[in-house]
Amino acid sequence: MTFSPDWLAPTATVIEAGHRDDGISLAARAAALVPALAGHSLAVGPGSARAMAVAFLAAAEAGVPLSLVRAGQPLEATASLVLDPDLTLRPGQPIDTVGGFQLLLRTSGTTGEPKIVRRAASDLFGRVVSGSATRWLLTYEPTSFAGLQVLFTALGTPGSVLVAAPGAPIGALADLARAESVEAISGTPTFWRALLVALGNRDLPLRLVTLGGETAEQPVLDRLAQRFPGARLRHIYATTEAGAVFAVQDGRAGFPAAWLDGEQAELRITDGVLQVRRARAWIDTGDLVERSDDRVYFAGRRDAMIKIAGTQVVPEEVERYLLAEPGVADVAVRARPNPITGALLEAEIVPDGTVAPDLLLARLRERVLQLPPTSRPRRMAIATSVASAAGKKARGLVG
Amino acid sequence: MRTATESRDVLALIFEETARILQEKGAKVPALNPEIAFLGGSMDFDSLDLATLIVALEERTGADPFRSGFKDFTTVSELASLYEAK
C-alpha cells in the first residue's frame, strides 16, 4: 500500500547522512509504518529531517497525534511509539491517544519551561510558499516550528532539495553547503555570524538569505548583504502565539513604522510592546519595540529582562552594544546569579580575527564603561562560538 | 588545613581585585588594609562593584562561599575569612 498527499512534490528530495530520498521514496517509507501506528501516538526527535518527514507523512496517513521533541527534551515520555533516525519504531510510554492527527510542538524555552503548542497540519501548509526549485540547507532543528517550515517549503516545491545534517557543527555545515551547492539558507542571526566566521573567504553563491528566530541587527544584515551580494536578504518575524507575522525585505533592521498606521494596520504598540491583530483580537507578542522616525526596532523580550541591583536590564541591548565594536563577530550576554545584586551580566565574545583577542577585550572593557553600571557585563571572556543547541543564545541564569 | 600563607593570599587577592575594579571605573584607590569596609566607607565602591569582586574571586579561587546563600560581611578581613572557612 502506498499513498501520496497532494502537497508533497514527488520530485522534491531530502539529502541527509548519505541518504537521498525523493517524495515518492519518503511516502513509501511512511506507508510501511502506517499499519503499526493504529491506536498509538508517535514521537520523533531532533536527530533527522528524513525521520521528521517520514513521521509526519505516516502520522497524517494513520490519523494519530505526532509529538515533535526538541534537543534535551524527553522523547519516550511524549508518545506510545518513537520513530528513531534510522526509521525504526520502538515503544515509548503508554499514553491515551486522543484527537486524530495533530502536531504537538515544544517551544525552545529560552526562558523557563518549554511550552507545548498544538498545531493542525493546515497551519503548516498555509505558509508553504510555492516557488521555483531551490536547494536548501536546513539549519534549524527539524522538530522546531522553523525547521518544519523549511522542510515543508522544500518538500512542497517540485525539484527542490533539502540538505540536512542535524546537530552538525558549524564548520561541517559550511562545508556541506558548498559541497551540495546550496542556494538558500534560513537561520538565526547567531547561525549567520557563526557561518561567516566558518566560511572565511570561501565562495558560497546564495540566492536567498533568511534570518529568523532572533532579532536581526543591522550589523549582521549589512555583513550578509556584503558577503552575499547576489542574494535576496530578508528577516522574518514570527511568534509562537501569532505564527508568522511579516518578512522585511529592505535589508534594514526592524520594520517600517508605516505598518503601524491606518485602519487596516495589523500591528500596534501598547506600553512599548508589539501587538498583532488576529481576526478581531490583538495578541500581545511580549516583544519590546521602539519607534524611531520611520522605523520600529526590536529591543528584546519583555520576559528576557533581568533584574540587576533592582534595575531591569535587557541582555539583547547589551549584545547590540558590544557587537558594534570592530573585531567582534558574535556576542552572548547572560545573567549570572550573584549574592549581592541578584544577578550580574557576563559576556562571551567571539572575535572575527581582525583584532588580537587581548586587545579586543581591553577595548570592550573601555566600551562598557559607557553603559549604565547595571548593564555592564562584569565578566567578559573570549569564546569560539556562542550558539546553543537550539541555535538561540541561552538567556537564562547560568552557573 | 589552611595555613597562614593561604590566608595572606586571599587578602592579597582581594586587595588586587578591589584595586583593579576601582581603577577600571576611574575611582581613586585608597591604601587598602584588612579592616577597610567595602560599602559606605572611604572607598568609592558600590553593590555592583562588590558583586563584581565576588565573581572575580570565584574565578581566581574556584570557591563560592555564597553558594548556599548570602553571608554577612563588611570588611576585607571578614570577606577573606569566608573563603578561608571553605
- Which residues constitute the domain of residue A287? 168-302
Mutate to test the interface with A, among B17, B55, B64, B74 (most CBs of A within 10 A): B55
Answer yes or no: do A266 and A186 share one domain.
yes
User: Which of A241, A273, A302 finishes a domain?
Assistant: A302
Domains, chain B, ranges and CATH?
Answer: 4-84 (1.10.1200)
Q: What is the 3-state secondary structure (H, E, C) of B16-32?
A: HHHHHHHHHCCCCCCCC
For residue A389, the model assigns a pLDDT of 39
Over residues A215-238, mean pLDDT: 89
Q: The dihedral of CA A354, A358, A363, A369: what is its sign? A: positive
Measured CA distances, A240 to A35, A109, A143, A303 (Å): 33, 11, 14, 14
Residue in the block written with cell 553603559: A371
Answer yes or no: do A295 and A320 share one domain.
no
Average per-residue pLDDT for chain B: 82
Answer yes or no: do A204 and A327 share one domain.
no
- Give the single-character DSSP code of A215: -
What kind and span of H or E run contains A14? strand A13-16
CA A346 to chain centre: 24
- Domain count of chain A? 2
In a domain, A134, yes or no: no
* Cβ-defined contact of B48 to A309 (cutoff 8 Å): yes
Answer yes or no: do A188 and A242 share one domain.
yes
Answer yes or no: do A192 and A314 share one domain.
no
User: Which of A246, A272, A302 finishes a domain?
Assistant: A302
pLDDT classification of A55: cutoffs 50, 70, 90: very high
Over residues B27-55, mean pLDDT: 84
Q: Is the pLDDT of residue A238 over 90?
A: no
Answer yes or no: do A256 and A290 share one domain.
yes
SS3 A261: coil
User: Which of A302, A331, A349 finishes a domain?
Assistant: A302
Cβ(A45)–Cβ(A73) under 8 Å? no
For residue B5, the distance in angstroms to the closest alpha carbon of chain A comes to 27
Give the residue among A292, A212, A72 at the shortest CA–CA distance from A221: A212
In a domain, A290, yes or no: yes
Give the residue among A6, A28, A26 at the shortest CA–CA distance from A16: A26
Cβ(A346)–Cβ(A380) under 8 Å? yes
In a domain, A186, yes or no: yes
For residue B6, the distance in angstroms to the closest alpha carbon of chain A comes to 24
Answer yes or no: do A187 and A208 share one domain.
yes
For residue A387, the model assigns a pLDDT of 62
State the cell numbers at A239.
Answer: 511568534
Cβ(A164)–Cβ(A49) under 8 Å? yes
| B47 chain-A contacts, CB cut-off 8 A | 309, 340-341
CATH of the domain at A309: 3.30.300.30
In a domain, A11, yes or no: no
A212 versus A62: the higher-pLDDT residue is A62
* Cβ-defined contact of A379 to B56 (cutoff 8 Å): yes
Answer yes or no: do A173 and A262 share one domain.
yes
For residue A194, the distance in angstroms to the closest alpha carbon of chain B comes to 27
For residue A340, the model assigns a pLDDT of 77
Q: Is the pLDDT of residue A398 over 90?
A: no
Tens digits of per-residue pLDDT, A24-46? 999 999 999 999 999 999 999 99
Answer yes or no: do A295 and A177 share one domain.
yes
CA-nearest residue of chain A to B25? A369
